A = this chain, B = another copy of it.
């Protein structure tokens, strides 16, 4: 067994990499930004003021037109996919004697909003917030405090990287520091709704996306507040489980103790799936996980430990699987209940009846090695092994209700596989060096927690691909009060400016 020697070897590689990342920051960019913070924010407020909820086609298209203008103004050639709504915006920039082509993937659509849940300002009326509340930028005379935050839907996910990229290009152009690489910026208007237009565009004209390195600019950075590179993303598979016990609701007085209670049935079934520590009990659930390589393990070991702070921040007394560190758990498949319901939930008018069914929306995040359909079938097999008759994607018949004391309906949605590429990309060194700010090396995360188009580049186009997370982890992504910490915007500009001028590997 040579295993014990691997971590030592890997730690050496990592420290070697870290050594080569010195002196990455592009001189002048920081100073330019400090002199132009008002203008940068003014432009970003403009973009954030455009509602961009995925599937609100007219709104999303207005964002596309704004982006077309913004990139054209900076000398990019802009083309759009032929879609009527939420088109893919592809902005390309050519330089003389390029070192090659960098492809950036960013998305400009956002998650749904409930304005009443926002504390500081409505989701599409961005505002700047400091410790004493909302700040009018016009009243700020000196520098903006980098800990202040900008609140708006998509401030972080994922217009933040757009603002950072536009700022980086502005800085380099003003400073007359030439870009060394050709750029292709892919701006997806449907990432929060399945990216159908992007996939179609990519399949129809893959040549448009040729490049030497793809960078996906999405996802939160590590909670240690270091810039984060990731080498894969989780996939997903979900299913809806409904336990049926009767044809209709039954009066709880007349039939209590007689009518089977679907909520208890569902509770028993769910309890069989996960133990008290959060470990999934479904046979084979972890079997196909591609193990972490020694280098990936070393990268994990090198990360700052942040769990105590997170538990404090989120009000969590004990995480699931407390014997495994958070970043390692990102490389294990998950099983979570994102919604559960009997009788329409607690807000529905209260009825004194035993419901006829109870449901749970079960979501699995997948990791490299796991096939989504197979993972779904493991869950279904587990339900069967608990004695249930399982029917798929349809309501039970009266006959089935009468014949099966344990009857479950499962609705299955098509899943998406995870992907993970090796840490040892030659191109990674340049990116890691660019992401090294003030001597702090970036965190190397084998798998990002979220899901986004990554395999489309790494596998579909066969490009060297790496993900770069620029926004604060506590950005309230997908939730009310989404925000971007100003320091992250400023750092993002510096990192991207450095990438646009990084040497060839």
Given contacts A344-B345, A345-B339, contact A329 B234 (CB under 8 A): no
Q: Pick the interface stretch among A32-40, A143-151, A183-191, A471-479.
A: A471-479
For residue A398, CB closer than 8 A to chain B, the reply is yes
A343 partner, pick from B317, B338, B342, beta carbons under 8 A: B338
Contact between A338 and B316, CB atoms less than 8 A apart: no
For residue A315, CB closer than 8 A to chain B, the reply is yes
For residue A276, CB closer than 8 A to chain B, the reply is yes
Copies in the assembly, this chain? 2
For residue A245, CB closer than 8 A to chain B, the reply is yes
Contact between B271 and A316, CB atoms less than 8 A apart: no
Question: Which residues of A, 225-283, contact B by the 8 Å Cβ criterion?
Answer: 234, 240, 245-261, 263-264, 266-271, 273-274, 276, 278
Q: Which residues of B contact A274 (CB under 8 A)?
A: 261, 264
Q: Pick the interface stretch among A90-98, A400-408, A423-431, A453-461.
A: A400-408
Among A271, A347, A405, chain B packs the most CB atoms within 10 A around the CB of: A271
Closest chain B CB from A308 CB (angstroms): 11
Closest chain B CB from A499 CB (angstroms): 24
Given contacts A112-B349, A258-B320, A359-B346, contact A340 B339 (CB under 8 A): no
A351 partner, pick from B245, B338, B404, beta carbons under 8 A: B338
13 pairs, CB–CB < 8 Å, chain A vs chain B: A245-B316, A246-B316, A249-B479, A251-B478, A254-B477, A260-B320, A267-B267, A316-B401, A338-B350, A339-B342, A350-B361, A352-B363, A353-B479
Given contacts A111-B351, A246-B314, A345-B347, 8 further A-B contacts (CB under 8 A): A256-B336, A256-B363, A260-B318, A261-B336, A264-B270, A264-B274, A266-B340, A341-B346
